[in-house]
Homo-oligomer: A and B are copies of this chain.
Amino acid sequence: MSDLPKTCHIMEVGPRDGLQIEPKVLTVEEKLRLIDGLEKAGFTEIEAGSFVNPKAVPQMANTPEVFAGITPKPGVLYRALWLNAKGLERAVATPNVAVDGVLHLTASEVFVKRNTNRSIAETFEQLPSWIELYRTHGIPVDSMGVMAAFGCNFEGNVPPQRVVDIIARTRDIIAEHGGALKYVNLADTMGWAVPDGIKRLCGMVQERWPELELKLHLHDTRGMAMANALAGLEAGVAKYDGSIAGLGGCPFAGHKGAAGNICSEDLAFMCAEMGIDTGLDLDALIEVAALAEELVGRTVPGKVMKGGSLERIRHAVAS
């Protein structure tokens, strides 16, 4: 496993992706406690909320107050999500939001239509106006995300070549507008990826554009998240989204216990045990995972928070 990266950056998405379908809506104070714990555990990039329709996602309605309540720590980026121009305008107007110039693409024709009422082609038509909108705020577009990059519950398989084509076209559009694509986030939005598919798609992208920095956004819907992260690491991918305590699952009846995002502290544990530096403190991660569980008020999927740190045992048996 000599190809493993020496460091791995985990962006914590728990306060956004993790909480957005929880039945319990966390208060501003509760979210700030969670964010504070995440900072103490060493995260340097935290997605703290989203500027989307509060009627559609009531869990995120207090996002402006959450950002306003943050006392920003040096070196920490507080990220947010927006999916339309109004959302971006709100993000820009809110203190402490680290607005990145990101374009949101989707690799499933059916899903993008359901989600945004636009086709993939229509999404591309909108990219120049997005780039212009970012420009008016002085933000260079250098980043893109591809949702449903590995498959879609409404469409089935997503061929990797389609994702490569979407990246190519987005890269061209950014270049036509004087920018340069640097970052690509491949999202397994509905838990379709398996390890060989991760390696295949990441390999295709890396082979064509070795200069691009890849990130993986993994969901544990079918239990594959950690194996997919391992496949990503083996392919040299050194950036991941993760959710503290594995938040992001669906606790509703009929889906009780369904899995969420890849669990940040479990991923950090795997990295640490394999000698990959995440800059995170596992004991502090376990502590904030317990806080997350307390705040949402239900059993969460995280494993290391229950199984315990090996370092602690090593120290105990050595003394």
Question: Residues on A close to B: CB < 8 A?
Answer: 1, 4, 110, 151, 153-157, 191-192, 194-197, 199, 220-224, 226-227, 229-231, 255-259, 263, 266, 269-270, 273-275, 299-304, 306-308, 310, 313-314, 317-318
Contacts and interface: CB of A to CB of B under 8 A. Distances in A.
A154 B223 CA distance: 29
A197 B274 CA distance: 8
Contacts of A259: 303, 306-307
A256 B290 CA distance: 12
Given A156-B318, A157-B314, A226 B223 contact: yes
A103 to B, nearest CB: 27
Interface-centre pick from A154, A229, A273, A303 (highest chain B CB count, 10 A): A303
Contact of A274 (B151, B191, B196): B196
Nearest to A246: B223
A198 B138 CA distance: 49
Contacts of A313: 153, 156
B196 A4 contact: yes
B229 A269 contact: no
Nearest to A220: B303
A257 B304 contact: no
B300 A257 contact: yes
A191 B310 CA distance: 10
Contacts of A314: 156-157
9 contacts: A1-B196, A191-B307, A197-B273, A222-B303, A222-B307, A223-B226, A223-B263, A227-B227, A256-B299
Contact of A222 (B274, B299, B300, B304): B304
B306 A257 contact: yes
Q: What 4 pairs across the A-B complex have the smallest Cβ distances?
A: A223-B303, A223-B266, A221-B307, A194-B273
A222 B266 contact: yes
A274 to B, nearest CB: 5
A280 to B, nearest CB: 15
A319 to B, nearest CB: 11
Contacts of A304: 222-223
Contacts of A227: 226-227, 229-230, 270
A118 B266 CA distance: 34
Nearest to A155: B317
B256 A310 contact: no
Contacts of A151: 310
Given A155-B317, A194-B274, A227-B229, A306 B269 contact: no
B303 A269 contact: no
Nearest to A229: B227
A108 to B, nearest CB: 10
B153 A274 contact: no
A193 B153 CA distance: 33
